Amino acid sequence: MDWDVMISYLPLYKDALLLTLKTGWQGVLLAFMIGVLCAVITHLKVPVLRQITGIYIELFRNTPLLVQLFFLYFALPKIGIRISAQLCGSLGLGLLGGAYMTETFRSGLENIAPIQSASAQSLGMNKLQTFRYVILPQAVSSSVPGLLANVIFLLKETSVFSTISLMDLMFTAKDLIGMYAKTIECLTLLVIFYLIMLLPVSILGSIIERRLRHAEFGN
């Protein structure tokens, strides 16, 4: 293990980490917004849109992210639509994550007892107000453990961004291994930087889950 080599590679891995985090969290934010929208459409049983949402969920949950990225980055230019590697990564991750987030939010919505809606409407709230102020906040709260698991899953999926020439952590590691053959050093740094990226989210998720369990027990 050549520690001097590892130290000299740190700036490259730091830049790659920042790019991976930026692209990954953009995808997570997009996935969150898609998930909320599609879950609401599914829950409210909006005609036509519900069927479209169902097709979207099945399509993106049953195809690998790698295939989706290849389609966005290599197939779309054939019809005149060109997007950068970073935008492709964020969009692909967001579309994949949106399908999983939808199911998480949907299960949260279905766990809300019907009496909640009846009670809110008896207090004078209309259906929109009931959904916005009573149902949705509780659904999001109950979905937190699943959402955090999805976030970790999506951030780990950023490892395939290197296939579309995005200079993320995996691309940097493979590039350095190819040029200098420092395999052990490069892979060790790769593991360390992925832990730097993912451990805080995992720890935060554990803390939130414990607090939610304590809150439920207290109630």
Alpha helices in 45-182 (DSSP H): 49-61, 65-70, 85-110, 114-122, 127-130, 136-157, 169-180
User: What share of the chain in percent tops pLDDT 70?
Assistant: 96
Can you tell me the mean pLDDT for 156-164?
89
Q: What is the number of structural domains in the chain? A: 1
What integer best gives the mean pLDDT of the chain?
86
Q: Give the list of residues 6+ apart from residue 110 with CB closer than 8 angstroms, or none.
A: 43
> Could you write out the DSSP letters of every residue in 158-193?
GGGGGGGT--SHHHHHHHHHHHH--HHHHHHHHHHH
Can you tell me the mean pLDDT for 74-95?
91
CATH number assigned to the domain comprising residue 174: 1.10.3720.10
Q: Domain containing 185: what range?
A: 3-218
Summarize pLDDT for 182-217 with one digit per residue, the tens. 889 999 999 999 999 999 988 887 887 777 666 554
21: confidence class by pLDDT, cuts 50, 70, 90: very high
Q: Which two tokens stand for residue 14?
A: 């730091």
Q: Which two tokens stand for residue 166?
A: 């995005």
Which pTM was predicted? 0.84
Please give the Cα distance from 108 to 215 (Å, whole number): 17
Summarize pLDDT for 90-144 with one digit per residue, the tens. 999 999 999 999 988 888 777 777 777 777 777 777 777 777 777 777 777 777 7
